[in-house]
Amino acid sequence: MRLSFGGVLADAVILWRAERDVVLRIAGVFFLLPVLALAMLLTRLPEMAEASSQAEMLATFRAFYTANFAWLLLVSLAVDFGSFVLLNLFLHGNRTVRDLLLASLARFVPFVLLGFVTGTVVNLGFALWVLPGIYLFGRSWMMGAAYAGEPERGFLAAIERGFRLSAGNGWRIALLGCGTVAVMGSAALVLAILTQAITLLAGGAAWVQAIMLVPVAAAGAAAYIAFTLVRVAIYRRLAGSISGT
């Protein structure tokens, strides 16, 4: 089956309209708050803009990462859990929020491990060049969705299932996923630049920056929601076309 860009996006809109209230409740806790915390952490890195060399910039980043590792890990786990909850919502449905959270928590550790494995493979691809990284992302993005949507298959079977589902559509999946990130990420970046400009105009007041970071975090949360909606829409189309295989 050849994916239709328009069809996938139309399906994503339908998914959003059907579960908007629940999605916003979950995203508020697991996307908005963690992204806001991350944005506030990143405001501690003004030295990076003043670094005179790449070596100094890398040293500053390493020091920041070491000092804030626990917080960064917590943010990452919260966002991953929110993504998994939304996958379970869209792929199983008819559950209360409490049931969704409990069901997701019970199977969360393998989902994190799966994300680590696929992320490592994609990063290795990017280490070779941009195009291999993008292609490997397209071939691996359905693995997490397969794990959520077909729990009977287990961890390793989800890897094989996701890879098989993406056959013949690797580049299309990559374009849909990367395109979603590019569009939503650009909006968040514009808001971040405006936040910095307004903060500077206000004399660098911390309270102004804290308030202005809220819409930046909201844009980041919206990006995660859109990313998940597109992911589910792709998976449902592909899984439906070869169900039972």
**Which has the minimum average pLDDT: 68-72, 83-87, 204-208, 240-244?**
240-244
Q: pLDDT per residue over 143-192, tens digit each?
A: 999 999 998 888 899 999 999 999 989 899 999 988 888 887 777 777 77
**Tokens encoding 3:** 């994916």
115: left (phi over 0), alpha (psi -120 to 50) or beta: alpha
pLDDT of res. 244: 42
Higher pLDDT, 133 or 61: 133
* pTM across the whole model: 0.86
pLDDT of res. 211: 77
Using alpha carbons, select from 34, 92, 27 the residue that is nearest to residue 225: 27
Q: pLDDT per residue over 67-91, tens digit each?
A: 888 888 999 999 999 999 999 999 9
Does residue 113 carry a pLDDT above 90?
yes
The pLDDT-based confidence of 48 (bands split at 50, 70, 90) is low
The pLDDT-based confidence of 120 (bands split at 50, 70, 90) is very high
**Tokens encoding 243:** 């169900």
Amino acid (one-letter) located at 24: L
Greatest extent of the chain over all pairs of C-alpha atoms, in Å = 62
Give the pLDDT mean for 218-237: 93
Q: Are the beta carbons of 90 and 102 closer than 8 angstroms?
A: no
pLDDT of res. 128: 86
150 C-beta neighbours (distance < 10 Å), count: 17
Q: What angle do CA 182, 16, 186 make, to 5 degrees?
A: 15
Does residue 243 carry a pLDDT above 50?
no
